[in-house]
Amino acid sequence: MLSRNQTPGVASNQQCDTYAWFSQRAWVEVDLGALSENVKQFKQFLSPSTQLMAVVKADAYGHGAVTVSQTALQAGADWLGVATVPEGIQLREAGIQAPILILGAAQTPEQIHAIAHWKLQPTLCSPKQAFIFSNILETINYASPIPVHIKLDTGMSRLGTNWQEATEFVQSVYRLPHLTIASIYSHLATADSPDPAIMQEQHQRFETAIAQIKAMGIKIPRLHLANSAATLADRNLHYDMVRVGLGVYGLSPAAHLNHQIRLKPVLQVKARITQIKTIAAGTGVSYGYQFVAPKQMRIAVVGIGYADGVPRNLSNKMQVLLHGQRVPQIGAITMDQLMIDVSTIADIQEGEVVTLLGDQGQEQITADDWAAQLNTISWEILCGFKHRLPRVGVV
């Protein structure tokens, strides 16, 4: 583990210890102090009776699932949320014992065996899936009931049984052997919108379904509905647990929610300058000559490209940070390398580190900036960094 100010060349974290990370041309730095602080901020924002699930699917949104999960749990997260069975197994193999909910669907015999073996907790999306689960557990004579989480579709039109059929669904799960209901939940489609109308309609549907289930006399240990945006937007959506992904990684899900808590971005992307050269006016740069030098320029080659997750569509649009200043990227971003204009920076050396996402001095470039340039969302930017980039934990 490195401190932010340490000179590269000292240590590596557990997720990249097969690499001497300091000899890497490019890497993702994961600020575990910021991660801890973000988790604590959310815990303080919640009432003491509301649990916090850190959503660590997709390799913790590209940050490295094991280190992030360990850090988030230490900072006070109560649950972990993953998308797939292998993601859950990865955490169990790392020795993590906290409850893990699989937010995606699992239904093959192999997946169900693994869920039972690794003590993961599945989402059930339909009576049919519940029946398959119970049958497979019967065939392997599984002794204790598996905690399952019932997913209702209140308007996302993704996984889950329609909220109007909630009572039948819950009854069918309740009657099956080998399954015990651990929670009922739903997911919101528009929680990051400044207009709360659809979110509140989903909330109402959830409330109606829960009231009907309670009227049957079935005890439900836990209800949950909110992602990061809903957690920040409306305390009435917190129920017994909130499922926070983006916020844990220090980004706000929407500008109108920024004021609610102070978050710090966890991820930085850095790469080294591999060569510096002077080019004459009229010289083309990179494939297709999308950039032609308008005057004599000093340019630097940086060892990171689209195969590492820097979107090629940012070519000629993005900036990077060097010596605390913003400098423009020029020409097409290539698979492993990109070029920057360093004409305005004095005394630069090959081997120096450029920040693509992160901060230097007073300057900061965030995943939100890239997302805005690409007309996409910060979630996609974070998940886009490839495994060729080692994840380096800093404190």
Catalytic residue ranges: 57, 287
Q: Interface with ligand PLP by CB under 6 A: which range of 26-34, 213-221, 242-250, 320-328?
A: 242-250
Cβ proximity to ligand PLP: between 232 and 342 the closer is 232
Tokens 């799960």 appear where?
Answer: 173
- Decide: is 103 part of the binding site for ligand PLP (CB under 6 A): yes
Binding residues among 298-327 for ligand PLP as defined by CB under 6 A: none
Residue whose beta carbon is closest to ligand PLP: 245
Q: How far is the CB of 80 from ligand PLP (least distance, A)?
A: 12
Single residue of 178, 187, 238, 270 touching ligand PLP by CB under 6 A: 187
- Decide: is 150 part of the binding site for ligand PLP (CB under 6 A): no
Cβ proximity to ligand PLP: between 233 and 365 the closer is 233
Q: Interface with ligand PLP by CB under 6 A: which range of 4-12, 224-232, 284-292, 351-359?
A: 224-232
Single residue of 243, 270, 272, 391 touching ligand PLP by CB under 6 A: 243
The site map against ligand PLP for 247-266 (x = CB under 6 A) is x-----x-------------
Q: Could you tell me the CA-to-CA distances from 183 to 193, 210, 239, 264, 378 in Å, in that order?
A: 26, 11, 11, 31, 29
R_g of the chain computed on alpha carbons: 24
Q: CA–CA separation, 52 vs 39, rounded Å?
A: 9
Q: How far is the CB of 228 from ligand PLP (least distance, A)?
A: 3
Cβ proximity to ligand PLP: between 58 and 389 the closer is 58
| Residue pair 390/24 in contact by the 8 Å Cβ criterion | yes
Return the bridge partners of 279, or none.
297
Cβ proximity to ligand PLP: between 228 and 355 the closer is 228
Single residue of 82, 246, 299, 322 touching ligand PLP by CB under 6 A: 246
Cβ proximity to ligand PLP: between 256 and 312 the closer is 256
Q: What is the separation of C-alpha 53 from the centre of its chain, rounded to a whole number of angstroms?
A: 13
Question: For binding to ligand PLP (CB under 6 A), which residues are involved?
Answer: 55, 103, 187, 227-229, 243-247, 253
